[in-house]
Structure 1
Amino acid sequence: MKRTQTSSPAAERGDTTRHKLLLAAIEVFGRLGYDGATTRALAVAAGVNLQAIPYHFGGKEGLYQAVVAHIADHIAARMGPLRLRLAARFAAEAHGQPIIADEARVLLVDLLRTLAEFLIRPEMESWARVVIREQMEPSPAFDYLFRVGMEPQFAAARLLVGRVAGLDPANEWVGVRTFGLIGGVLMFRTAHGAVLRGMGWETMGPEQIALIRRLVEELVAGLPAAGEATR
């Protein structure tokens, strides 16, 4: 029986070149920013021909948008199992199985721990530079980054904070407290250098992660219960 060839060698080489450009561009854009990253620097970092950028991405802007989308998609995939579990629990609540405060705290700890452990991974350093730049000066790519990579975590956390506090998740205090909680986790990546220097750590290994996991528990435990929150 004749063997079916699913992709040609040329197509496979094209996929490899595209992937190399994406990975290299994350580092270059994160280090130099969009304006500082030249197409030549991007091509050299990827070890590809300069014409590969317009061929695969239409130019530098297309490559940058692909980089941001790649980061957002990877965050979504990494957080996917937890997102699905939370979505199933929220759906059950909509059908008459309410989430009480104690359960909401447990789910919130799980969400924040998962997020923290993902962000602290060494390979996230270059990704974080791109994300932080997008936070400071949002580009047209920010909408996708927020909608796909960030908003689902924020929305789930806000709903859970609301359940703990006995308030509508749309309440402003709930939103501010939610961003405060998430910010307490994000800073271990966004302020990575300051944390290492201030704590006298050389790196964030298992012992440091254990302390951060404990911090998450304490942050969630400190959330005011129903009737105690500022309305």
Structure 2
Amino acid sequence: MSDEQNQPNRAEITREKLLAAALDVFGRHGFDGTSTRQLSEAAGVNLQAIPYYFGGKEGLYIATAEYLVSRIERHVGALRQQIVAHIMTLDAAGQMLTADDARHFLTQLTETMIGIFVSKESEPWARFITREQMEPTEAFTRIYKGLMGPMIEMARRLIGTILREDPASEHVRLRTLAFVGNIMIFRLAHAAVLAQMEWQSVGSEQLQSLRKLAAELVGLLEPAKGNTP
């Protein structure tokens, strides 16, 4: 295949521009507060590109949610596949996931998610998702089914193994949500984190401290007294 054939075509470039711009604009102004003219101007494309490629503003909004999922998946996809493959191999062999393996994978997952949350790249993602948390639409359904649900369920499987409890139990579900909340604060309360820590920004030194915190958070998960393997 030639280099020319490997290059993205004009349609792909236009779609990418619109999706990237829409993620930011919708996150800042919401669906109702955003006009198609704002979107086209932010993307630097013709106004007619929105109905042409997405059928209209609503279609672009849904596509933006799917685009968001794909962007985050680039960061966590390989690790998630590794964990799933390990669990499936054990299940096929009739073996159980060990608590040590669960801690190892949960630590990796937590480190990865904290790294994403403190990155500049995740700012528009957080705005978009936060709006959908407050007033869920079909876009939230796409985000939850495509990313949030599977990630939480994976964490639930790992935490259930560590706690020696059924991952589907109410207690493990609640512990998992509380655990996720402990790391989401680094994006949803990013300004407060910087102020409290007296950090100007999150660089390599700060990120290393957060990686240590991830291991500590996982280390705090212990089975209740009386729970046996």
Confirm or deny a common fold (TM above 0.5). yes
Distance 2:155 2:10 in 1: 42
Q: 1:27 to 1:228 in 2, by over 3 A?
A: farther
* Residue number among 46, 51, 55 corresponding to 1:49 in the alignment: 46
Is the aligned partner of 1:109 residue 2:107?
Answer: yes
The sequence identity of aligned pairs, in percent, is 44
Q: 1:219 to 1:6 in 2, by over 3 A?
A: closer
Give the aligned partner of residue 63 of structure 1.
60
Distance 2:196 2:31 in 1: 30
Give the aligned partner of residue 130 of structure 1.
128
Code of the aligned partner of 2:204: P
Q: 1:228 to 1:204 in 2, by over 3 A?
A: farther
* Residue number among 172, 176, 179 corresponding to 2:177 in the alignment: 179
Distance 1:111 1:120 in 2: 15
Give the aligned partner of residue 152 of structure 1.
150
Q: Which runs of 4+ in 1 moved over 3 A?
A: 226-229
Structure 1 range deviating more: 136-145 or 73-82: 73-82
Distance 2:5 2:121 in 1: 32
Equivalent residue runs for 1:1-231 within 5 Å: 12-94=9-91, 95-225=93-223, 227=225
Structure 1 range deviating more: 73-82 or 183-192: 73-82
Distance 2:98 2:10 in 1: 53
Are 1:167 and 1:226, in contact at CA under 8 Å, matched by a contact in 2?
A: no
Distance 1:71 1:105 in 2: 28
Gaps of 5+ in 1: none
Q: Once the 2 structures are TM-superposed, how far is the Cα of residue 15 of structure 1 from its aligned partner?
A: 2.1
Q: Once the 2 structures are TM-superposed, how far is the Cα of residue 6 of structure 1 from its aligned partner?
A: 5.5
Q: Once the 2 structures are TM-superposed, how far is the Cα of residue 226 of structure 1 from its aligned partner?
A: 5.1
TM-score w.r.t. structure 1 length?
0.90
Q: Once the 2 structures are TM-superposed, how far is the Cα of residue 96 of structure 1 from its aligned partner?
A: 2.5
Q: Once the 2 structures are TM-superposed, how far is the Cα of residue 167 of structure 1 from its aligned partner?
A: 0.4
Q: 1:45 to 1:167 in 2, by over 3 A?
A: same
Distance 2:9 2:161 in 1: 49
Distance 2:185 2:226 in 1: 27
Distance 1:182 1:84 in 2: 20
RMSD over aligned Cα atoms = 2.0
Distance 2:131 2:44 in 1: 25
Other structure's SS at 2:199 match: coil
Code of the aligned partner of 1:188: F
Distance 1:25 1:103 in 2: 40
Total equivalences in the alignment: 224
Are 1:165 and 1:228, in contact at CA under 8 Å, matched by a contact in 2?
A: no
Deviation digits for residues 186-227 of structure 1, max 9, x if unmatched? 110111111112222111111211121111111111112253
Are 1:109 and 1:217, in contact at CA under 8 Å, matched by a contact in 2?
A: yes
Distance 1:93 1:162 in 2: 16
